[in-house]
Structure 1
Amino acid sequence: MQIYRIDHVAQVATDLDAQVTLLEGLFGFRRARTWDNPAEGARGARLEIPGSRGQVWEVVAPAGDGSALQTFLDDHGGRPGLHHVGAEVPDLEAARAELEVRGVKPTAGERGRWLEASLSPPERGPGVLWRLRGPGGLDMCGDTDATAATGPWDAPDGPSLGIVALDHVCQAFPDRDELARWYRDLAGFVQVWRTADDEHPDMADLVLNIPGSAICWEVIMPRGEDSFIERFWDRNGAAAHHVTFEVADWDRAMEACRHHDTPTFGENEGATDGAAWRDAFIHPKHTGGVLVQLFWEERPGVWVRSDKIPPWT
Structure 2
Amino acid sequence: MQIYRIDHVAQVAADLDAQVGLLEGLFGFRRVRSWDNPAEGVRGARLEIPGSRGQAWEVVAPVGEGSSLQTWLDEHNGRPGLHHVGAEVPDLDAARVELEGRGVKPADGPQGRWLEASLSPPEHGPGILFRLRGPGGLDMCGDSGDNAVAPSEPGEPSSSPHPPPSNGRAALDGPSLGIVALDHVCQAFHDRDELARWYRDLAGFVQVWRTPDDEHPDMADLVLNIPGSSICWEVITGRGEDSFIDRFLERSGPAAHHVTFEVADWDAALAACERHDVPTFDDEEGVTDGAAWKHTFIHPKHTGGVLVQLFWEERPGVWVRSDKIPPTS
TM-score (norm 1): 0.97
Gaps of 5+ in 1: none
Partner residue in 1 for 2:298: 282
Counterpart for residue 303 of structure 1? 319
Partner of 2:112: 112
Aligned equivalent of 2:263: 247
How far 1:102 moved relative to its partner?
0.5
Residue 32 of structure 2 is aligned to residue 16 of structure 1: no
Q: Tell me, yes or no, if the aligned pair for 1:33 and 1:146 is still in contact at 8 Å.
A: no
2:311 aligned counterpart, secondary structure:
strand
What amino acid is the match of 2:257? H
1:136 Cα deviation (Å)?
2.4
Q: Secondary structure at the match of 1:169?
A: strand
Which amino acid counterpart does residue 41 of structure 1 have in structure 2? G
What is the alpha-carbon distance in structure 1 between the residues aligned to residue 149 and residue 68 of structure 2?
A: 24
Aligned equivalents of 1:87 and 1:135: distance in 2? 11
Q: 2:34 — aligned with what?
A: 34
- What is the alpha-carbon distance in structure 2 between the residues aligned to residue 119 and residue 265 of structure 1? 31
Unaligned runs of 5+ in 2: 155-169
Is 1:183 equivalent to 2:191 in the alignment? no
The equivalent of 1:147 in structure 2 is: 148
Describe the superposition over 1:194-222 as per-residue Cα deviations: whole angstroms up to 9, x where unpaired: 00000000000000000110010000000
CA offset digits 1:17-65 (Å, max 9, x no partner): 1100000000000011111111001001000000000100000000111
Which position in structure 1 is the counterpart of 2:92? 92
CA RMSD after TM alignment: 1.5
Deviation at 1:148, TM superposition (A): 6.7
The superposition leaves residues 63-97 of structure 1 with CA deviations (integer Å, 9 ceiling, x where unpaired) of: 11111111111111211000000001110000000
Aligned residues between the structures: 313
Q: What is the rounded CA distance, in whole Å, between the counterparts of 2:171 and 2:240 in structure 1?
A: 47
Partner AA of 1:4 in structure 2: Y
Residues 288, 152 of structure 1: CA spacing in aligned structure 2 closer, same or farther, 3 A cutoff? closer
Deviation of 1:156 (Å): 5.3
Q: Is the alpha carbon distance of 1:85 and 1:311 closer, same or farther for their aligned partners in structure 2, counting shifts above 3 Å?
A: same
1:174 aligns with 2:190: yes
Q: Counterpart of 2:199 in 1: which secondary structure?
A: helix
Q: Deviations over 1:251-288 (max 9, x none)?
A: 11001000100000000001111111000000000000
Q: Please give the alpha-carbon distance, in whole angstroms, between the structure 2 residues aligned to 1:79 and 1:150.
A: 25
Identity of aligned residues (%): 82
Tell me, in whole angstroms, the C-alpha distance in 2 between the residues paired with 1:161 and 1:296.
11
TM-score by length of 2: 0.93
Instruction: Report if aligned partners of 1:275, 1:299 keep a CA contact under 8 Å in 2.
Output: yes
Is the contact made by 1:32 and 1:149 (CA closer than 8 Å) also made in structure 2?
no
Q: Is residue 207 from structure 1 mapped to residue 223 from structure 2 by the alignment?
A: yes
Alpha-carbon distance between aligned partners in 2 of 1:169 and 1:149, rounded to the nearest angstrom: 30
